[in-house]
Amino acid sequence: MQRYSESFDETFSSALDRALHGVLGRAANVTSFYVDPGISAKSPEVYVELLKKIFSPELVNALTEAIGLELSKSFGFQYQRDANWKLSEYVSYAKQPLQLRLEPESGNTLAVGSDTELKITLINRTVGDMTIKKCDLQPSPEISFPEPSGASYEFEAFKLRPGEAHEVKSRIRGGQIGQARVSARATVIDLRGKTLVVEMPCVLSIVEREGRVLTGSPVADGLLLGGLPKRSAVLLAGGASDEKDNLVLRFCEIAPEATVYVSSDVERSIQLHKLHPESRLVVCSPQADLLPTSESIQTSRNLRNISEIDDLLTHALETIPSESPRVLIQLVSDILLLHKEVTTRHWLADLLPRLRARNCTVLVELNPRMHGTQEVNALFDLFDGRMEIVEHEETGRPIRFLRINSLRGHKYLTYQALLTSQAQGAGIEASKPVLPSSIPLQSEFQSPEGERRLAAIMFTDMVGYTTLTQTNEPLALKVLERHNQLLRPILPRYRGREIKAMGDSLMVQFESALDATDCAIEIQRTLHDYNISARDEWRIILRIGVHLGDVVHSKDDVLGDAVNVASRIQPLADPEGVCVSQQIYDQVRNKLTNPFTKLERRRLKNVQYPVDVYKIVLPWERSPFPAETSVSNR
């Protein structure tokens, strides 16, 4: 087998040149679009879009096929004669001749203290033998190994034949509640005689089973890290939707013999009774007579007598043999419309503690779109937690996500998870998001005109977006929409006020330096998790800069030197990185677990004085920083 001494970039560049010359002949000598192979290696589909602007579709297809053929020759993998294959798939094969797969036996959730088998599969994609030297597992602190030897597997020049797969199994144990990562790293010698390290991450939710009540929805249980806490009352907010109905039905179906469903929806109650006759139903509606006669169904023809609803619910609970009943209350929006917030609040303030005392776990459904902000806000503090269904429009079809806004005294995952199935929507990658249709932000963010105050200012900027707009504007707009979809729901959680959006950049104001840095880290963590599974052309890489200083409010804008400094710090951050000023560092260094690295002092453009800048070291960064530049945050 021929061995190459060139680096990946040199070999890739040579293969690209040969392909272009083979198809274009002398014309390739006068074109300049291909001289930087990094475009095709890092963003293959963007490169193809660039080709389409220059050549005919037939010629572009010929070029893509020629590039794939040359790459297969140069990097030693079997050329795939498949018209559906994209250039990105050939580049993937060239970059990673060894394919790694991680498959946890328990899926993406693992209970604290329990073990699961992790299957690692190594697949040789090339046409020659590949030498496997070793395979390591690198877990985050939330995961441990029951056996010390389970973290590393040494191979004595093990040969993996072309197309052959080899399995390695290990056991991992959930140690701490939270989101965990485990990465497999294989060290191999490829066909060119080069030592290559291939890494594949796997994200797991470490959940608590004891003291939790399953909701029946894997999405909700994953975000809740095991389910609803026992004896808690949690609010599920969101407009009417199939996804919301599914969450409600699953909550009732997972333990129908232990569940009381309190509703004004006759149709849904009839459906639930047909599926699970053992479920206890309390139905309050003028159409309640349509329900069949059954010992498991309690009915009332109106919602005006709240005491009657309580009596029916109490009677239903007395018929449940379980020591830990489950209650789902659907009619709160109807009560709120009829009795307004004061009476509704008094009713819930009396009812929920009584249900907790009976060892009940309660899920309350609410449609915020039916009420004013003041009415909805009046109920929030009565609940131990709050879940929200967030909706983004998808070219006429909604895409819906679930997120946990609060869960008093318990850990939960803060990102939003997709609820809409691919069959219902047009697909996540084509989504056209808008601002979440959740409860409006409070007016506490509004500042008087001309007021000067101390604020933390955060700037974000998307790496490579200008190039993408020049090469594929439709894709760039969709990526920007995805960017807004992922970032904007995060800002209110840290009391961030979006001042303005400048294309692919956001300017956000915070009243707290810690809120600003926590938000920046959360944004990068969310995007890092998203990029793991996103196609290359859909990945979103940001640089973020944060500074603390005086600002002046002018109409809907914020002005001042602090804004200028923050905007100049942002370009200093690495892709997927966060940089902060000395002022931010002084406020948060003892409050974050992340270490810091001090950058070389420099003058910033249009800033009169030198600014000390610190880089926040994020968990997924592989290479350690030099000891002399590290700054302890302890």
- Confidence band of 181 (pLDDT split at 50, 70, 90): confident
Q: Is residue 71 part of a domain?
A: yes
CA distances from residue 170 to 117, 124, 133, 149, 607 in whole angstroms, order as listed: 6, 20, 18, 9, 54
Q: How far is CA 229 from CA 42, 260, 326, in A?
A: 45, 17, 11
Q: Check: CB of residue 418 under 8 Å from CB of residue 390.
A: no
Tell me: pLDDT of 625 over 50: no
Report the distance separating Cα 565 and Cα 546, nearest Å. 9
Looking at the domain assignment, is residue 229 inside a domain?
Answer: yes
Q: Is the pLDDT of residue 365 over 90?
A: yes
Distance of CA 568 to the CA centre of its chain: 28
Provide the domain limits for residue 219: 212-430
| 36 and 156 fall within a common domain | no
pLDDT score of 140 more than 90: no
| Cα separations in angstroms, 515 against 106, 331, 405, 558, 577 | 35, 36, 16, 18, 17
563 shares its domain with 596: yes
User: Which of 24-28, 68-72, 571-575, 629-633 is most confident?
Assistant: 571-575
Enumerate the H helices of 319-423 as residue ranges. Answer: 332-357, 373-380
Nearest CA among 550, 547, 541 for reference residue 576: 541
142 and 51 belong to one structural domain: no
pLDDT of 452: 66
First to last CA, the chain: 54
What CATH number corresponds to the domain at position 482?
Answer: 3.30.70.1230
Residue 255 belongs to domain with CATH number: 3.40.50.300
CB 454 within 8 A of CB 550: yes
Q: Give the three-state DSSP class for 130.
A: strand
Average the pLDDT over 113-132 and give the result: 87
Distances (CA, A) of 475 to 14, 39, 175, 422, 552: 29, 16, 41, 20, 37
Is 298 within 8 Å of 312 (Cβ atoms)?
A: yes
Of all residues in the chain, what percent carry a pLDDT higher than 70?
A: 84
Query: Bigger pLDDT: 562 or 342?
Result: 342
End residue of a domain, out of 61, 94, 127: 94
Domain endpoint, select from 94, 122, 139: 94
Which has the minimum average pLDDT: 31-45, 399-413, 432-446, 550-564? 432-446
Identify the band that residue 226 occupies on the pLDDT scale cut at 50, 70 and 90: confident
Give whole-number Cα distances, 444 to 393, 492, 510, in Å.
Answer: 28, 12, 12
In whole angstroms, give the CA distance from residue 328 to residue 312.
Answer: 14
- Looking at residue 27, its pLDDT comes to 60
> What number is the average pLDDT over the span 457-475?
86
- The whole-number pLDDT of residue 434 equals 28
Does 527 map to a domain? yes
Residue 24 maps to a domain? yes
What is the predicted pLDDT for the residue at 215?
92
Distance CA 355, CA 614 (A): 51
* Same-domain pairing of 295 and 423: yes
Residue 306 domain-assigned (yes or no): yes
pLDDT band for position 554 (cuts 50, 70, 90):
low
Inform me whether the pLDDT recorded for 437 exceeds 50. no
Residue 271 and residue 403 in one domain: yes
State the chain's mean pLDDT as an integer. Answer: 81
- How many distinct helices (H) and strands (E) make up the chain? 16, 29
| Residues belonging to the chain | 634
pLDDT bin (cut points 50, 70, 90) of residue 308 is very high
Residue 71: count other Cβ atoms within 10 Å of its Cβ. Answer: 25
CA angle 468, 472, 476 (to 5 degrees): 60
Q: How many domains does the chain have?
A: 4
pLDDT digits (tens, 9 = 90+) for 72-101: 888 888 776 665 667 777 887 787 788 888
Radius of gyration of the chain (CA): 28
**336 & 239 share domain:** yes
Q: Do 478 and 560 share a structural domain?
A: yes
Among 59-73, 229-243, 385-399, 454-468, name the one with the lowest average pLDDT: 385-399
What is the SS3 assignment for 29? helix
Distance between CA atoms of 465 and 64, rounded to whole angstroms?
24
Question: What percentage of the chain carries pLDDT values higher than 90?
Answer: 24
Do 468 and 601 have their domain in common? Answer: yes
Kind of pairing, strands 178-189 and 130-139? Answer: antiparallel
d(CA 203, CA 109): 9
Task: Tell me whether residue 119 is in a domain.
Answer: yes
* Segment (H or E) for 585: helix 582-588
Rounded to the nearest 10 degrees, the angle between the axes of helix 57-75 and helix 8-24 is 140
State mean pLDDT over 406-424. 74
Q: Are 591 and 616 in contact (CB under 8 A)?
A: no
Same-domain pairing of 615 and 495: yes
Tell me the average pLDDT across 139-144: 86
Predicted confidence at residue 150, as pLDDT, reads 58
- The whole-angstrom separation of Cα 21 and Cα 75 is 19
Q: Are residues 401 and 256 in the same domain?
A: yes
Residue 61 token pair:
């297809």
Q: Dihedral of CA 568/572/576/577: which sign? A: negative
Q: Are residues 203 and 216 in the same domain?
A: no
* Structural domain ending residue among the three candidates 430, 464, 487: 430
Residue 236 has pLDDT above 50, yes or no: yes
Q: Confirm if 498 and 507 have CB atoms less than 8 A apart.
A: yes
d(CA 105, CA 115): 10
Round to whole Å and give the CA distance between 55 and 64.
12
Q: State residue 330's pLDDT score.
A: 94
User: Are 97 and 125 spatial neighbours (Cβ–Cβ below 8 Å)?
Assistant: yes
Same domain? 476 vs 610: yes
pLDDT at 443: 33
Q: Which two tokens stand for residue 189?
A: 């010698």
pTM of the model: 0.54
Q: Averaged over 230-235, what is the pLDDT?
A: 95
The CATH code of the domain that includes 107 is 2.60.40.10
Give dist(CA 529, CA 485) in Å, integer. 15
User: Looking at the domain assignment, is residue 520 inside a domain?
Assistant: yes
Residue 215 and residue 250 in contact, taking contact as beta carbons nearer than 8 Å: yes
Q: Which of the four pLDDT bands, split at 50, 70 and 90, describes residue 528?
A: confident
One-letter amino acid for residue 237 of the chain: A
User: Does any domain span residue 442?
Assistant: no
Share in percent of the chain as helix, strand, coil (round to 5) = 35, 30, 35
Q: Closest Cα to residue 111, out of 230, 201, 216, 224?
A: 224
431 pLDDT tier (thresholds 50, 70, 90): very low
